[in-house]
Chain A
Amino acid sequence: MTALVLKDVCKSFGAVDVLRNIDLTVEDGEFVVFVGPSGCGKSTLLRVIAGLEDATSGDVEIAGARVNAVPPAKRGIAMVFQSYALYPHLTVKENMALALKQEGTPRDVIAARVAEATRMLELGPYLDRRPADLSGGQRQRVAIGRAVVRQPKLFLFDEPLSNLDASLRMATRIEIAALHRSLSAAMIYVTHDQTEAMTLADKIVVLRDGRVEQIGSPMELYNNPANRFVAGFLGAPAMNFLDAATLGGPGGATLGIRPEHLRVTDAGRIKGTVAHVENLGGDTNIIVETGAGERVTVRVFGQYPCTVGRSAALDFDDADAFLFDAAGARLVAEPA
Chain B
Amino acid sequence: MSAARRNPLNSAAAHAALLAYVAIALFPVFVIVINSFKDRRSIFREPLALPDAESFSLIGYQTVLKQGDFFLYFQNSFIVTVASLFFILLFGAMAAFALAEYRFRGNMLMGLYLALGIMIPIRIGTVAILEMMVATNLVNTLWALILVYTAQGLPLAVFILSEFMRQVSDDLKNAGRIDGLSEYTIFLRLVLPLVRPALATVAVFNMIPIWNDLWFPLILAPAEETKTLTLGSQVFIGQFVTDWNAVLSALSMAILPVMGLYVIFSRQLIRGITSGAVK
Contact = CB atoms under 8 A, between A and B. Distances in A.
A82 B177 contact: no
A69 B160 CA distance: 34
Contacts of B169: 83, 85
Nearest to A52: B174
B171 interface: yes
B175 A81 contact: yes
Given A88-B193, A88-B194, A99 B180 contact: yes
Interface residues of B, number: 15
Contacts of A99: 178-180
A291 B158 CA distance: 63
Interface in B155-202: 169, 171-172, 174-181, 189-190, 193-194
A217 to B, nearest CB: 29
A328 interface: no
A interface bracket (residues with beta carbon within 8 Å of B)? 20 to 34
Given A83-B171, A87-B172, A50 B180 contact: no
A124 to B, nearest CB: 22
Contacts of A73: 177-180
A72 B177 CA distance: 6
B43 to A, nearest CB: 53
A50 B175 CA distance: 10
Contact of B180 (A81, A102, A146): A102
Contact of A85 (B174, B180, B193, B194): B174
Contact of B181 (A79, A82, A88, A102): A102
Contacts of A81: 171, 174-175
A77 interface: yes
A32 B177 CA distance: 24
Q: Chain B interface secondary structure, helix, strand, loop or mixed?
A: helix
Nearest to A47: B174
A325 to B, nearest CB: 41
A87 B190 contact: yes
A84 to B, nearest CB: 8
A102 B174 contact: no
A71 B174 CA distance: 12
B172 A85 contact: yes
Given A85-B171, A87-B172, A78 B193 contact: no
Interface string A74-99: 10011101111111110000000011
A77 B178 contact: yes
A99 B175 CA distance: 10
Interface string A90-116: 000000001100110000000000000
A102 B177 CA distance: 11
Contact of B178 (A50, A83, A87): A50
A222 B194 CA distance: 46
Contacts of A74: 180
B178 A79 contact: yes
A116 to B, nearest CB: 18
Interface-central residue, A77, A82, A102, by most chain B CB under 10 Å: A102
A79 B174 contact: yes
Interface string A152-179: 0000001000000000000000000000
Contacts of A98: 179, 181
B189 A72 contact: no
A74 B171 CA distance: 18
15 contacts: A72-B174, A72-B178, A81-B175, A82-B171, A83-B169, A83-B171, A83-B172, A85-B171, A85-B174, A87-B172, A87-B175, A87-B189, A99-B178, A99-B180, A103-B180
Q: Which 6 pairs between the two chains have the least Cβ-Cβ distance?
A: A73-B180, A102-B180, A99-B179, A85-B171, A81-B171, A85-B175
